[in-house]
Structure 1
Amino acid sequence: MSVHPDLSAFLELAEFGRLTGKSQPLHALPLAQGRSDFERTSQILDPNPPGDIEVRPVQLPTRDGAMLQGRLYRLASTAAQVLPTILYFHGGGYVVGSLDSHDSVCRRLALSGEFAVLAPAYRLAPEYPFPTAVHDALDSVSALQAQAEHLHLDPHRLVVAGDSAGATLAAVLAITAANHPADIALTPVAQLLFYPVTDMTTERASHRTYAEGYLLESETLEWFYQHYGDTAARQDWRASPLQASLVEAQAPAYVSLAEYDPLFDEGVAYAEALAQGETPVTLTVERGLSHDFLRMGGIVASVDDIYRRALDWAVAAAR
């Protein structure tokens, strides 16, 4: 399928900006500017996210004494209900991204009222390289367990979720629960993985086919990885889940990929590896769309349906 017509115009505009020197890819920018530019894209991609959502700031303690900021999202009418929880980790290659950049995503996940959404602001590289983000993800689970009653959350119906590098963190939590259960405070009942990074060690065909022109560029991936960790870190299963032993059945996985994405091939490989290990897997491919489609609710009409299908699956998995 060709690029979705709603997305095509945006990609053409982005390419025009590059050709005229008005914009540059993330990997060509100073770190601070890359972060601020990434934040600004949220206002373009989804300027009017759902408003009838209660957003509550929370604090999540970590093993090294730091306190992570977080946000708890829920439909306002469910404030007194005990809800299952989506623990959501934002994307951004461990280097960019924030609670603000993915505020619209969390609002859309909470809109149905079926789940509360807890989003931690895990610490970013290069200031906090691998494995800090992994530790922060695990510590967020511990904080959720400790605060569940106070926050009206059901800790026994936990869905770990994320997009891009955030999906990697969610995948690592699911692997930990299956392979190293003593290392995680709660066992997830399901995992929602949107266009995850699953193998930093190998270049695949999709890295070359969609190297540039589709928002996420292969050079930007390498820029992220260089900030995140050294060669040994890339080979660690906590950064490259395809390097893990996946023979133990994990929580059921919903793997959602973009057709035009350098990460496409490794996403397919990961879904296949999970299935071979007897983890129930639902693999969906969003034809015509690129990486980061969850943040495109304001420019691609079909994104609403992507959320609906993923949440329908999650509701069934969390019963």
Structure 2
Amino acid sequence: MALDPQAKALLDAMAALPALDFTQLTAPAYRAMLAAAGSLAPGDAVASEEDLRIPTPNGSLAARVYRPVVAGGGNDALLPLTVFFHGGGFVSLGIDSHANICRCLAQRAQTVVLSVDYRLAPEAPFPAAAHDALDTVRWAATHSAELRVRPGPLAVAGDSAGGNLAAVAAQQLRGDGTIAHQLLLYPVVDCATEHPSYESLATGYLLSAAQMRWFKDLYFGPDAGQADRADPLASPLAAALADLRGVASATIVSAEFDPLRDEAEQYAARLAQAGVPTAHVRWPGQIHGFASLIGALDAADHVLTHAAQALHHALHVSPSRLRQPETT
């Protein structure tokens, strides 16, 4: 199919900007450039937002809790929890950049969303972000009273690099009742291999193959080898089939014009092969990161409704009955 006209207009406008030289660009300069680009549309209105810090073995992490306006009133009802990890190539962005996605998921899925500021590379290289994801999910699963959410299985969600972390958490915590569902929006799931879409969609579609290589080089650092990149903590697609059995059900969205498209779709197929209930959709005409572009792309609103419906079904309609013990 052709590019969505709204996505094409956005890409045409961006084509007039100076090209980034990823052989010279530093992470601080890239973060500053993103900060100067301004904010995105805010997303849905929610009942409240609260900042907190999550203790981990490697120090506390900033986080934010989004509580929806409960349909039909009854805002004191305990809602299920979704832990969200933002994208940004493991190098950039954070809670604020992805607030619009979190608000929409919270309101439309009727879930409390806990958005986590995991450590970024290159200051904290692999496996820091993966460890932060596991630590925060474990903490959230045992602190439902503190978070004022429904006890029991939670969902994990993320876009791009955050989708990687959500997938890692779902794999590593498989079978213990912690995670009911994983929502992965155009995730990074293979840091070791470049799939055909890296070549066919290498340039001209917002995220480039060169940019992904730059992200990965910063995430792993100069001393990492191929074994690090192929570790399932970095590349969920590299996990053995036996290690995927028992992983939480999945909703995976790929974008038609995204260098990461093929690996996301292979991961959906791999999960299904392992017997994991998996729903995958390739969003036609769209580019990497499109869910964030509320107000600029109609597809952003549509995909967030799709994602929220999947979360709502997993958490409200057919949640696992497994329960985890509370700790204080």
Contact 2:182 2:249 in 1 (8 A): yes
Q: Which SS does the other structure have where 2:132 is aligned?
A: helix
Give runs of aligned pairs for residues 161-172 of structure 1, distance below 5 A: 161-172=157-168
Q: Output aligned runs, 1:245-256, within 5 Å.
A: 245-247=240-242, 248-256=245-253
Specify whether residues 74 and 239 from structure 1 end up closer, same or farther in structure 2 by C-alpha distance, changes over 3 A only: same
Secondary structure (helix, strand or coil) at the match of 1:154 reads coil
DSSP-derived class of the 2:188 partner? coil
Output the CA distance in 2 between the equivalents of 1:262 and 1:252: 24
Shift of 1:213: 1.0
Task: Give the letter for the 1:226 counterpart.
Answer: D
Match for residue 124 of structure 1 among 120, 123, 142:
120
Task: Look up the SS of the partner of 2:174 in the other structure.
Answer: helix
Please say if residues 168 and 198 of structure 1, whose CA atoms lie closer than 8 Å, have aligned partners that are also in contact: yes
CA contact (8 A) 1:61 1:67 kept: yes
What is the SS of the residue equivalent to 2:97? Answer: coil
Quote the residue 2:229 is aligned against.
234
CA 1:51/1:42 → structure 2, altered by over 3 Å: closer, same or farther? farther
The Cα shift of 1:148 comes to: 1.3
For structure 2, list consecutive stretches of 5 or more residues without a partner in the other structure: 318-328
Q: Does 1:63 align with 2:36?
A: no
Q: 1:274 aligns with which of 262, 271, 291?
A: 271
- Aligned-residue offset at 1:178: 2.1
Residues 38, 101 of structure 1: 8 Å contact kept: no
- For 2:195, the aligned partner's letter is R
Distance of 1:197 and 1:52 partners within structure 2: 29
Aligned counterparts of 2:288 and 2:38: Cα–Cα separation in 1: 14
1:294 Cα shift?
Answer: 1.2
RMSD over aligned Cα, in angstroms? 1.8
Equivalences for residues 153-168 of structure 1 within 5 A: 153-168=149-164
Choose which of 187, 200, 205 in structure 1 pairs with 2:196. 205
In structure 2, the CA distance between the partners of 1:6 and 1:26, relative to structure 1 (3 Å rule), is farther
The structure 2 residue matched to 1:310, chosen from 300, 307, 312, is 307
Deviations 1:196-254 (A, max 9, x none): 11111112110011111111111111111111112232011110111112331311100
1:80 is displaced (CA, Å) by 2.0
Distance 2:155 2:55 in 1: 20
Q: Is the 8 A contact 1:162 1:169 kept in 2?
A: yes
Aligned to 1:189: 180
The one-letter code of the counterpart of 2:66 is Y
Percent identity of paired positions between Structure 1 and Structure 2: 36
Q: Is the 8 A contact 1:175 1:246 kept in 2?
A: no
Q: Contact 2:46/2:66 (CA < 8 Å) preserved in 1?
A: no
**In the comparison of the two structures, how many residue pairs are matched?**
307
Q: In 2 relative to 1, CA 175–151 (structure 1 residues): closer, same or farther, beyond 3 Å? A: same
Deviation at 1:58, TM superposition (A): 1.4
Distance in structure 1 (CA, Å) of the matches to 2:259 and 2:25: 20
Matches within 5 A, 1:37-116: 37-41=33-37, 43=39, 46-64=40-58, 66-77=59-70, 79-112=75-108, 114-116=110-112
CA contact (8 A) 2:92 2:120 kept: yes
Deviates more, 1:141-150 or 1:293-302: 141-150
